[in-house]
């Protein structure tokens, strides 16, 4: 009984600490660690192992290089990187000079990259030159020539190509102290591009306080492991990696183990050899880990917590992880515009809660379920999830109309997601009122794909829906009306040349006429029926 009382007191103290001691930005806790324990390991990437002191030194060097390129406070710098140390180092470098970090997924094709570079009006571009089997050098050369911006390249090895490796100086560069003293919580920290119903990606602006608050409360409420060891293998331009991996490690003084691409065998090896504390990702990733041949022979007992988001986990995967570890489990629900999770499961091993709900709303936020007129509905009634946050996202870049449309008249953010709250306070996710679907944890927006498909000269019209898939959660199914004959393979190749691979429809149906409602909107319910018949 005393243990339970002590746990309640500790939980209450953590909530109080989270509210009173929440850092202004990620710079604050990192600066504190640099003063207290600069030799503590911060990053591991293959054979490269960097202390906080070394990480800070590389960030200082990159910041001063950017300054020499003309970058100044208030500017924007684009970064296209897989999960590796340079991604985080570039964030700190950009923030040290008061600029904003703009993320680009290296899976994006040149046209997708170019849209972000132009829309955000970046003044410099930092990028890797190779991603998986794809050489990015020609894309970078094109951007440098056409946009007349400096491009700083990193090769396959850490800190290779355009910048020389450095040796940390005994004293911390004073640029860190100046930044820690002057950084503004409401300043623009990162811009994450998300597509919308118009098919044109929009830049969501997240503030320093916004992402710091999410990471800090996650650490205090759910994963309170000082110096935690965590794998980073989600795309670094994704809010999942920013809030739930990078930010969590930053506020905890943790060690990040980078993997450029998710690999279940590599993850299992890291867990066993490096004694990883937290295993996170999307359900598809956890399923691949459980399904790997080495899963049953790997020592997983260092894992304290298992966490996932972007969709439900299967009962079989959850059971396998519970049998293999003594961990507690927590799922979460959120979006880019909420800086990360707004609902989460308090760490538990309760299968019913983990399988049938999406956790409880964060008590520090105002979360409501509302009807079509934005009026709150009673517990047990389905409606749209709406949220009001102490540190809301700062809107969509260069798009005041979209920013205004994102909020209710009384300041709640529309999520477009349908749910209800049970009597015990747990939220049950019912579906998305928007057309967006998630494939392998990535947001996929049909209209973006439809517009691209319709640029093919043989195609008259296209409609894309998300359909259930046992491996990826959901995948795209495209329905197309033709102007003249064209093969499904040619349509897929058209998409492959211009879209990230997770956006490419896995199934294509050639149809005489796309079904439409009386108001000429695509009848997506009918398309779902047609897709279901084709998979039976």
What angle, 0 to 180 degrees and rounded to 10, lies between the N-to-C axes of helices 174-182 and 85-96?
A: 70
Architecture of domain 23-364: 3-Layer(aba) Sandwich (3.40)
SS3 content of the chain, % helix, strand, coil (to 5): 35, 25, 35
**Residue range 271-292: mean pLDDT, rounded:** 95
Q: What is the pLDDT of residue 284?
A: 87
List the alpha helices (DSSP H) in 325-469: 351-356, 400-405, 446-453
Which of 478, 486, 385 shows the shortest CA–CA distance to 428?
385
Tell me the residue ranges of DSSP E strands in 82-170.
Answer: 100-104, 124-128, 130-131, 134-135, 151-154
pLDDT bin (cut points 50, 70, 90) of residue 201 is: confident
What would the pLDDT profile of 14-34 be if each residue is shown by its tens digit?
445 545 678 999 999 999 999
Whether residue 105 is predicted with pLDDT greater than 70 in this model: the reply is yes
Strands ordered across the beta sheet of 383-388: 366-370, 383-388, 413-421, 427-432
Strand, coil or helix: what is 73? coil
Provide the terminal-to-terminal Cα distance of the chain, rounded to the nearest Å: 55
Locate the domains of the chain by residue range. Answer: 23-364, 437-535
What would the pLDDT profile of 362-375 be if each residue is shown by its tens digit?
999 999 999 999 99
Token pair recorded at residue 44: 């591991």
- The pTM (predicted TM-score) of the whole model is 0.87
Strand, coil or helix: what is 109? coil
Tell me the residue ranges of DSSP E strands in 57-110.
Answer: 76-80, 100-104
Per the CB < 8 A criterion, the answer to whether 465 and 446 are in contact is: yes
CA dist list (Å): 100 to 55, 68, 110, 125, 169: 19, 17, 22, 12, 26
Token pair recorded at residue 337: 């515009």
What would the pLDDT profile of 490-508 be if each residue is shown by its tens digit?
999 999 999 999 999 999 9
Whether residue 50 is predicted with pLDDT greater than 90 in this model: the reply is yes
Structural fold of domain 437-535 = GMP Synthetase; Chain A, domain 3 (3.30.300)
Q: What percent of the chain is predicted at pLDDT more than 90?
A: 83
Q: What is the pLDDT of residue 493?
A: 95
236: left (phi over 0), alpha (psi -120 to 50) or beta: alpha
Strand, coil or helix: what is 194? strand
Which of 466, 480, 400 shows the shortest CA–CA distance to 436?
466
pLDDT bin (cut points 50, 70, 90) of residue 520 is: low
Which residues are 193's β-sheet partners? 203
Q: What percent of the chain is predicted at pLDDT more than 70?
A: 94
Q: What is the pLDDT of residue 402?
A: 94
130: exposed, middle or buried (Cβ count in 10 Å: 0-12, 13-18, 19+) = middle
The residues, any chain, with a CB within 8 Å of residue 32's CB and separated by 6 or more, are none
What would the pLDDT profile of 342-394 be if each residue is shown by its tens digit?
999 999 999 999 999 999 999 999 999 999 999 999 999 999 999 999 999 99
Token pair recorded at residue 448: 């973006």
User: String of b and e for 64-101 (b: at least 16 CB within 10 Å)?
Assistant: ebbbeeebeeebbbbbbbbbbbbbbbbbbbbbbbbbbb
Per the CB < 8 A criterion, the answer to whether 248 and 332 are in contact is: no
The residues, any chain, with a CB within 8 Å of residue 72's CB and separated by 6 or more, are 97, 98, 99
Whether residue 86 is predicted with pLDDT greater than 70 in this model: the reply is yes
Q: What is the pLDDT of residue 195?
A: 66
Whether residue 153 is predicted with pLDDT greater than 70 in this model: the reply is yes
Query: Tell me, what DSSP letter sits at residue 407?
Result: B
Please give, one letter per residue, the 3-state secondary structure of 260-313: CCCCHHHHHHHHHHHCCCEEEECHHHHHHHHHCCCHHHCCCCCCCEEEEECCCC
pLDDT bin (cut points 50, 70, 90) of residue 132 is: confident
Distance, in Å, from the CA atom of 374 to the CA atom of 409, rounded to the nearest integer, reads 9
Which residues are 127's β-sheet partners? 80, 153
Per the CB < 8 A criterion, the answer to whether 275 and 62 are in contact is: no
Mean pLDDT of the chain: 92
What angle, 0 to 180 degrees and rounded to 10, lies between the N-to-C axes of helices 2-20 and 208-221?
A: 170
Strands ordered across the beta sheet of 188-194: 151-154, 124-128, 76-80, 100-104, 188-194, 202-207
Per the CB < 8 A criterion, the answer to whether 412 and 424 are in contact is: no
Whether residue 106 is predicted with pLDDT greater than 70 in this model: the reply is yes
What would the pLDDT profile of 427-472 be if each residue is shown by its tens digit?
998 877 778 888 998 888 888 899 899 999 999 999 999 999 988 9
Q: What is the pLDDT of residue 305?
A: 98
**Residue range 54-60: mean pLDDT, rounded:** 97
What would the pLDDT profile of 211-267 be if each residue is shown by its tens digit?
999 999 999 999 999 999 999 999 999 898 998 899 999 999 999 999 999 999 999
pLDDT bin (cut points 50, 70, 90) of residue 477 is: very high
Per the CB < 8 A criterion, the answer to whether 85 and 50 are in contact is: yes
Distance, in Å, from the CA atom of 363 to the CA atom of 139, rounded to the nearest integer, reads 45
Token pair recorded at residue 403: 């920013």
pLDDT bin (cut points 50, 70, 90) of residue 2 is: very low
Token pair recorded at residue 519: 């108001």
Q: What is the pLDDT of residue 395?
A: 97
């Amino acid at each position: 009984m005393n243990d339970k009382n002590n746990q309640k007191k500790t939980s209450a103290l953590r909530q109080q600490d989270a509210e009173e001691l929440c850092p202004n930005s990620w710079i604050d806790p990192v600066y504190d660690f640099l003063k207290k324990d600069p030799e503590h390991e911060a990053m591991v990437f293959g054979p490269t192992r960097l202390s906080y002191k070394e990480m800070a030194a590389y960030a200082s060097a990159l910041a001063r290089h950017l300054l020499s390129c003309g970058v100044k406070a208030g500017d924007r710098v684009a970064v296209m990187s897989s999960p590796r140390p340079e991604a985080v180092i570039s964030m700190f470098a950009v923030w040290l000079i008061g600029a904003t970090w703009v993320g680009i997924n290296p899976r994006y094709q040149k046209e997708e990259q170019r849209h972000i570079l132009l829309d955000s009006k970046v003044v410099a571009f930092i990028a890797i030159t190779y991603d998986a089997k794809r050489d990015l050098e020609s894309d970078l050369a094109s951007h440098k020539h056409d946009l007349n911006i400096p491009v700083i390249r990193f090769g396959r090895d850490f800190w290779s190509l355009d910048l020389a490796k450095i040796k940390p100086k005994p004293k911390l560069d004073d640029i860190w102290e100046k930044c820690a003293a002057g950084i503004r919580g409401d300043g623009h920290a990162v811009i994450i591009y998300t597509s919308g119903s118009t098919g044109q990606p929009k830049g969501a602006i997240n503030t320093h306080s916004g992402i710091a608050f999410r990471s800090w409360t996650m650490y205090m409420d759910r994963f309170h492991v000082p110096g935690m060891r965590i794998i980073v293998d989600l795309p670094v331009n994704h809010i999942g990696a920013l809030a739930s991996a990078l930010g969590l490690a930053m506020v905890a003084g943790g060690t990040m183990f980078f993997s450029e691409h998710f690999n279940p065998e590599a993850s299992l090896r890291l867990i066993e050899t490096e004694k990883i504390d937290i295993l996170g990702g999307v359900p598809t990733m956890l399923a691949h880990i459980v399904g790997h041949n080495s899963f049953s022979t790997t020592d997983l007992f260092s894992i304290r917590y298992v966490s996932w988001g972007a969709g439900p986990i299967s009962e079989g995967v959850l059971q396998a992880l519970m049998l293999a570890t003594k961990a507690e489990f927590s799922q979460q629900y959120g979006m880019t515009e909420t800086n990360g999770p707004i609902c989460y499961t308090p760490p538990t091993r309760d299968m019913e809660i983990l399988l049938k709900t999406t956790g409880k709303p964060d008590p520090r936020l105002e979360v409501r379920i509302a009807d079509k007129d934005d009026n709150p509905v009673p517990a047990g009634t389905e409606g749209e999830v709406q949220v009001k946050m102490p540190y809301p996202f700062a809107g969509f870049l260069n798009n005041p109309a979209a920013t205004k449309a994102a909020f209710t008249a009384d300041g709640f953010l529309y999520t477009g997601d349908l749910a209800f709250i049970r009597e015990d306070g747990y939220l049950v996710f019912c579906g998305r009122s928007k057309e967006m679907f998630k494939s392998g944890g990535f947001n996929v927006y049909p209209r973006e794909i439809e517009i691209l498909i319709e640029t093919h000269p043989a195609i008259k019209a296209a409609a894309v829906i998300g359909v259930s898939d046992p491996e990826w959660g959901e995948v795209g199914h495209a329905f197309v009306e033709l102007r003249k004959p064209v093969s499904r393979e040619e349509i897929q190749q058209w998409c492959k040349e211009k879209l990230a691979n997770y956006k490419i429809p896995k199934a294509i149906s050639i149809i005489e006429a796309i079904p439409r409602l009386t108001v000429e909107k695509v009848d997506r319910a009918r398309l779902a029926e047609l897709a279901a018949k084709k998979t039976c």
